[in-house]
Structures are given as structure tokens and as C-alpha cells.
A = this chain, B = another copy of it.
């Protein structure tokens, strides 16, 4: 396939001149235009089709709204979303909401005005009231309405697996280290699965959760441990909490996994920079990203859609249990 550069070279002009000819924009001398057109014909050069379709149709722009792209789980998710979108001629807008509803609503307005074609949402906000039905929106770990597509990992099964695993490793004093469950999301099911597995077996456990958004993780971990220092097995609701707990335990002279066993949830890939490999429930982030991208494209293209994806998780044995 010929490039704009090949055309420019053959016509003996700059790339900008070829661009002005193909776009019919800006001044080009008649003789130059003829040279460029001859080169285009000779090389069979076709100005980028995708660009044309984007000009005609902003529906090929999809926004991904997430709390922050600077998080290893979200940036991996965004990577896979973009790969699928790009392969299909779509483009990805990123929005860091920082949990600000106003910023999220701005993108819903863009969608209502057809400036963008769809939204993939990772949010804790109460945005239901702002959403009219049948909008091309896909939510992750959040079930906003029956009409809306949502994708999550199997949080419930993951919670059960964590409980089963800690028991199988001989733990007898179990704890759940949660986050800040201020809205109802699918993430709650991690605790529910953990709870149900243990309750079925009449095994007690302690639970620690914070009402508000956690500002100081280190202090939070310290509070947790001060209150529950006799635990020998902990299921932390995210990998980051798990890693922070492990580092805290090391700092007070506790050994992991000898004294305390820790299971996380997420399976974040951190380039192996942590010295203790975490035992964790791995979400299939690549598949979740691909499913999100495909779902939103299917709505935009008015194809058949599946409304619910609960993707299987897997326990990965590390060195923390």
C-alpha cells in the first residue's frame, strides 16, 4: 500500500501539499495539483478511509471513564479496550473522573449530543438518574439497570475461592480486609462469596471496612491490624491492600506466609517488582477489556448484544500463602 510520503516523493512535493490536495483545503497551484493527482493515480494511493469515517461520524469515538488511568488495573484494562477498538477503526478517549460526578456527566452530555459514540464506565457515582435508556453505555463491575450491559469478573466465586484456599492452607483465624463500599457494586460480591463459604461451614471470621473513601492506606492497614492482630489468614479485597498489608506485617516483624497468610484480588501485573509474589484471585482483565470494547461497538452498530458478562476468575498461587 502506498503512503502519502510515496505520493509526495513521486510528485516532488511535500507531504503537506499532498494533504492539501486530498483534503481540498488550502492553496495549491494548478500545475502542482496535477502532479500530485498523477502520482496518486500512478501509485493507487487512497487517503485513509478511517479518517474519512471519523470526520463523517464521531460515533467511532468511544470514551472510557475511570477513576484514574494511573492505576495498574485500569491501565491494563484501557490497553486492551484500545487494542480492540483500534483494530475496528474506533478511537478511545480517556477521562480520569477522580470520582467527580460533574466530569462524568460532561461525557454523558457528549454522548447525548452524539459527539461521541459510546461510553465504557468504571464508576461509583449514582448516575442512573442522568441516563436515558438505550444509550450505548457499558459498565464495569456495576449493575445500573437491566437494559445496560455490564461486565465483571466472577467476584462471588473469587470470594469463595479465597476462603477455601486460606482454610486449605491451615488458617483458623480468618479476616476480610475491605475497602469503602459506599455504593452497591459487583465488588461487594467478593465479601459475600467469602462470607457464604465460611458461613456454610459454620466458621466465624472478622470483617474490617471503612465507610468513606480511604485517603491514607497505611493508617487504614495499621488500624485494621491493631484491631485484629490475632488473624492468621486475610482476604484483602484488592491486590494493593494485600501488598500494603504484607509490607506492614514485615515492618512489625511478622512473617508472610509463616505467621499470616494473605490472598488478594485483581492479579495486577507489576513487572515483578514486588519481592513477595502475591497469592491472588486473578481477574481476566484482557478479556474484560475486549468484551467491553466489543459490546460498545455492537450497540453503536446496532448488532445483537449480550447484557451481562460474568467472567471466570482463577486463584494464582504466590508466596503469600
Interface residues of A (CB under 8 A from B): 3-5, 14-16, 19, 23, 25, 47-48, 50-52, 54-55, 58, 61, 63, 68-72, 74-76, 78-79, 82-83, 86, 91-96, 103, 105-106, 109-110, 112-115, 129-133, 217-218, 240, 243-244, 247, 250, 269-276
In the complex, what residues of B have CB within 8 A of residue A112's CB?
4, 15-16, 19, 23
Does the CB pair A96–B82 fall under 8 Å?
Answer: yes
Choose among B47, B130, B271 the residue that contacts A4 (Cβ–Cβ < 8 A): B130
In the complex, what residues of B have CB within 8 A of residue A61's CB?
61, 93
In the complex, what residues of B have CB within 8 A of residue A276's CB?
275
Choose among B23, B83, B273 the residue that contacts A240 (Cβ–Cβ < 8 A): B273
Does the CB pair A273–B243 fall under 8 Å?
Answer: yes
* A69 to B15 CA separation, bound complex (whole angstroms): 29
Does the CB pair B272–A106 fall under 8 Å?
Answer: no
In the complex, what residues of B have CB within 8 A of residue A95's CB?
82, 86, 91-92
* A83 to B69 CA separation, bound complex (whole angstroms): 11
Choose among B14, B82, B240 the residue that contacts A69 (Cβ–Cβ < 8 A): B82
Contact of A240 with B109 at beta-carbon distance under 8 Å, contacts A86-B95, A93-B92, A115-B51 already known: no
Q: 14 pairs across A/B with beta carbons < 8 Å?
A: A4-B112, A19-B132, A69-B78, A72-B270, A74-B75, A75-B75, A78-B94, A79-B96, A92-B94, A93-B93, A240-B271, A270-B270, A273-B274, A274-B274
